[in-house]
């Protein structure tokens, strides 16, 4: 049985217990601010993602914008991670580490940011095209964005996590793409990673029921080839086993009485490329 708990401003329920938190209006307000900052950072990056820029330069922009807004990058020091964002290029599925590597014409890259602002986490990622991108890569990116939004259409009270997962899986597999199983979306709020685990493939009607006040991410990773991943020796970078291209989009949302609110929507309408 899934357990739920109403949390007020304090929200000090035990981290990573199976209990799902139901937040109040103050929580929604906090998440709107953190989510907006996260989206504004990705908006700003659209003009910096060009051939020749290094992922470290992009990380520096994320750090500067976050701190200038009064936040801190939640990834900094998270389980030993030392950067302000993740930059996952081409066959990197997620958690690519920024560094001195320059982006090149034709790359696709996911940038994932999580500012912690006034105690709330805004977690979002988008794909970016670097210069001219092959049609096959563009199609993967388009379908992955559609997967996220079709999943979100299912995010309403009375539905379950499985309804979101099933919508994503159905659309991806219609295009013969693989849905990554090794990484999931997650509850968030005052904690970066909390219950529930949000799978991106599964049976309709399975898993925890969605209730007003739940906050979580949906962040499908979709591969042109097989779903299987492997972890590189740095302990973070996850890549496709068959080296096929991978794409991901992520939003942070809150379930309300009628459906959901997306906390991380782009204020400038730059939710998907081309920008």
Which chain residues interact with Co ion by CB under 5 A? 112, 123, 217, 250
* Residue 86 near which of ligand MF3, Co ion, none (CB within 5-8 Å, type-dependent): ligand MF3
**Binding to ligand MF3, residues 122-181 (CB under 6 A):** 123
Of the pair 139, 236, the CB lying nearest ligand MF3 is at 236
Distance CA 133, CA 182 (A): 27
Structure tokens at 264: 């991380």
Toward Co ion, which CB reaches closer, 59 or 112? 112
Total residues in contact with ligand MF3, by rule CB under 6 A: 11
Nearest to 126 by CA among 251, 261, 269, 263: 251
Among 95, 166, 251, 260, binds ligand MF3 (CB under 6 A): 95
Distance CA 56, CA 48 (A): 12
Q: Which is nearer to ligand MF3, 114 or 240 (CB)?
A: 114
- Extract the runs of DSSP E, i.e. beta strands, from the chain: 4-6, 20-22, 72-73, 85-89, 92-94, 108-113, 115-117, 120-121, 124-129, 178-179, 185-187, 194-198, 215-218, 221-223, 229-231, 238-240, 246-248, 251-255, 260-262
CB 96, min distance to ligand MF3, A: 9
Within residues 62-91, the interface with ligand MF3 by CB under 6 A covers 75, 78, 81, 86
Q: Which residues lie near ligand MF3 (CB under 6 A)?
A: 75, 78, 81, 86, 95, 112, 114, 123, 219, 236, 250
């Amino acid at each position: 049985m899934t357990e739920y708990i109403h949390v007020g401003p304090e929200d000090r329920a035990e981290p990573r217990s199976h209990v799902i938190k139901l937040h109040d209006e103050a929580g929604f307000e906090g998440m709107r601010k953190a989510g907006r900052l996260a989206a504004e950072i990705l908006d700003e990056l659209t003009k910096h993602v060009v051939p020749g820029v290094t992922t470290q330069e992009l990380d520096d922009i994320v750090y500067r914008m976050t701190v200038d807004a009064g936040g801190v990058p939640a990834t900094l020091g998270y389980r030993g991670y030392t950067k302000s964002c993740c930059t996952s290029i081409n066959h990197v599925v997620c958690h690519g580490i920024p560094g001195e590597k320059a982006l090149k014409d034709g790359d696709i890259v996911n940038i994932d940011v999580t500012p912690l602002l006034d105690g709330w986490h805004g977690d979002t990622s988008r794909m970016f095209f670097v210069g001219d991108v092959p049609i096959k890569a563009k199609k993967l990116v388009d379908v992955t964005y559609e997967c996220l939004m079709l999943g979100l259409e299912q995010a309403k009270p009375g539905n379950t996590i499985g309804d979101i997962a099933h919508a994503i899986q159905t659309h991806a597999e219609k295009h013969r793409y693989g849905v990554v199983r090794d990484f999931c979306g997650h509850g968030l709020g005052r904690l970066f990673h909390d219950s529930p685990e949000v799978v991106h493939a599964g049976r309709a009607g399975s898993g925890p029921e969605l209730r007003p006040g739940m906050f979580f991410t949906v962040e499908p990773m979709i591969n042109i080839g097989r779903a299987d991943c492997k972890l590189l020796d740095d302990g973070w970078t996850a890549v496709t086993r068959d080296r096929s291209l991978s794409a991901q989009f992520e939003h942070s949302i809150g379930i309300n009485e009628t459906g959901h609110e997306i906390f991380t929507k782009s204020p400038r309408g730059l939710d998907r490329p081309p920008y």
